[in-house]
Amino acid sequence: MAVNFIIKNYRCFPDSSQARISVRSGFTALVGVNNSGKSSLLKFFYEFRQLFAQLQGGNNNLLAALKGQSQSFSIMPGVFDIAELFSNINNRDLEIIIELPEDPDISANPPRPKRLTLHVARDTNTYFATLHSASEAYHGPSNNFAYHSQGQLLLNHTHPVANLVALSEISQDLSSMLYVGPFRNAINVGAKDDYFDIQVGQAFFERWKEYQTGSNKKQNEAIYRLSDAIKAIFGFKELQIQPSADNVTLQVFINGKSYKLPELGSGLTQFILVLANAAIKNPSYILIDEPELNLHPSLQIDFLTTLGSYARRGVIFSTHNVGLARSIGEQIYSLRRVGEGDTDMRLYDSTPRLSEFLGELSFSGYQALGFSKVVLVEGSTDLKTVQQFLRMYGKDHKIVLLPLGGSQLIKDSSEAELNEIKRITENVFAIIDSERSSASEALAPDREAFAGLCATAKIQCLVLNRRAMENYLTDRAVKLVKGDKYRGLGYYEKLKDVNPAWGKDENWRIAREMSLKEIDQTDLGKFLREL
């Protein structure tokens, strides 16, 4: 579920420039230059984790906070002075407003609350809370709050006033995030102290050994898949990762050669440590500051999608790289410093020209590594899905994918943009949805026109035989990822018409579980094979 946050008087977000962010499944990017506030906003969810853990129905701290009784929460490692969490351009309390999504059951009684406001007293780790329904705000000693049904319901003077199930789920998600901080080249492998949520000491290596060689088959297979993913991304013929004899580091065998983890480059070390921690901890969301650190542009999207496969909900990342954000982010925010301790934050909705987009992705750096082709795809959700299919063909490190932004560029006026990109590289291809409801239905005029422009520009364009990318996801893979109550789509069926339906931002997770055999004989598979 999508949960909206309004954050006031936290670090560089005073109440005059409050931060607004929607935490939801998929990939969310925070884009900005140095000191723009993007890293602070990412770290917010780490620093207030212990407060969020108290918001579950049944927790006595939440009950007392609603009655106006000040409650304390633990300070996370890395916060040296509680005062640093507050705005330095005013002296007001910090306020966190959590807006819950609309309850799909409009007849629910009692209903889901509309929002929860947390008031954190200035320069302290104490708070009280206010719960808002559609018509009332519940707070203060005059209320006689109690829990019912194992904390699922909130009562006031014995009358049910709020269903807390959704709030409890949100609390669980917020308190099980994995935060990956910046400066990962400074991670001291084998150190006694963890690097925020990244375990690097003996306890981690012992846990790796348990997962790799213990009696739990799911854990054994998780470590195998992790090693296999790293091997594929870096193009190794062989890769084995195991704890050293003294459990103070990892022993890595690459193509028959033995290395200790500190001997490897910072990029590969980051891959192993971060992905391993994610695989073992099974977080709701992964928060990662500057995932592009120490990685060539050709590996950055791979790193993020592989990382995302270990998050139950999604990934929120901060970055300088606008091209990376546009490529993979379903939701993008731009942050800009407007003064000392003051940041402006807003949704990023600028759509670049394709040639500009290639420049942002450092296409010349890709070419130097042998990337010779560009494939235009419908949107960012399709980019991640096609990337999984290309990996099956061993072509994910030979082709650069660019999202068209759907109808923003799939139209009859995109000729100049297509010609511009052709001047950068001759090897341009395109894949777009047909959006047909049946095999006999004609293409919509804008799609027909775009396909014609591609033909004129000598760009080979595949208009999918089936309705859209999700119509190629097999029933087996859908059930494997989503469960038996879900099913694969018919060739021309709309995703929104099935019940239950998954989100388009989950397509890539399902594609990741498919086999080459399941895609190879389709029109899409044949097109990718011949690239």
Single-letter amino acid code for the residue at 306: T
Q: Which two tokens stand for residue 464?
A: 């999918």
CB neighbours (10 Å) of residue 192? 9
With residue 258 as reference, give the H or E element that holds it: strand 257-260
Per-residue model confidence (pLDDT) at position 192: 65
CB atoms within 10 A of CB 85: 21
14: left (phi over 0), alpha (psi -120 to 50) or beta: beta
Element (H, E) at 94: strand 94-99
pLDDT value of position 268: 87
d(CA 363, CA 209): 40
Among candidates 280, 289, 81, which has minimal Cα distance to 186?
Answer: 289
- Of 401, 400, 397, 399, residue with least CA distance to 232: 397
Type of residue at 148: H
Residues 88, 342: Cα–Cα separation, whole Å: 9
Low-confidence ranges of the chain (pLDDT < 70): 183-192, 350-353, 357-358, 360-371
DSSP string, 224-236: HHHHHHHHHHHT-
Which residues are within 8 A (CB) of 154 and not within 5 positions of it... i.e. 6 or more apart? 57, 66, 110, 131, 138, 145, 146, 147, 148, 160, 161, 162, 163, 164
**What does the alpha-carbon distance between residue 178 and residue 276 come to, in Å, rounded to a whole number?**
12
Can you list the positions of beta strands (E) in 280-398? 285-289, 314-319, 331-339, 342-347, 373-377
Q: Using an 8 Å Cβ cutoff, are 426 and 461 in contact?
A: no
Nearest to 177 by CA among 288, 88, 284, 303: 284
Contact 78, 100 (CB under 8 A): no
- Amino acid of residue 123: D
Query: In Å, how far from its chain's centre is CA 92?
Result: 32
SS3 breakdown of the chain: % helix, strand, coil, rounded to 5? Answer: 35, 25, 40
Tell me which H or E stretch contains 428: strand 428-432
What the block records as the tokens of 465 is 């035989």
Question: 21 and 41 in contact (C-beta within 8 Å)?
Answer: yes
pLDDT in tens, 273-299: 899 999 999 999 999 999 988 888 878
Q: What predicted TM-score, i.e. pTM, was given to this entire model?
A: 0.89
For the stretch 405-421, pLDDT in tens is 888 899 999 999 999 88
Name the residue among 208, 9, 209 with its Cα closest to residue 96: 9
pLDDT at 168: 96
Query: Which pLDDT belongs to residue 247?
Result: 85
Residue whose tokens read 């997770």: 509
How far CA 211 is from CA of 205, 220, 307, in Å, comes to 10, 5, 18
For residue 27, CA distances in Å to 279, 310, 314, 386, 526 come to 18, 13, 6, 16, 29
Report which of 123, 122, 95, 115 is spatially closest to residue 8, judged by C-alpha positions: 95
Written as six digits, the tokens of 31 are: 């884009």
CA distance linking residue 267 with residue 512, whole number of Å:
23
Spell out where 100-221 has E strands.
Answer: 115-120, 126-132, 137-138, 145-148, 153-156, 159-163, 178-180
Sheet holding 399-403, edge to edge: 399-403, 373-377, 428-432, 460-463
Q: Cα 280 from chain centroid?
A: 17
Count Cβ atoms within 10 A of the Cβ of residue 315 and give its class: 0-12 exposed, 13-18 middle, 19 or more buried: buried
Q: Are strands 19-23 and 460-463 parallel, antiparallel or unpaired?
A: unpaired
Looking from the CA of 142 toward its CB, the CA atoms found within 13 Å total: 4
CB environment 467-496: b (16+ within 10 A), e (fewer): bbbbbbbbeebbbbbbeeebebbeebbebe
Question: Cα dist. 522→360, 478, 518 in Å?
Answer: 33, 17, 8
How high is the pLDDT of residue 368? 60
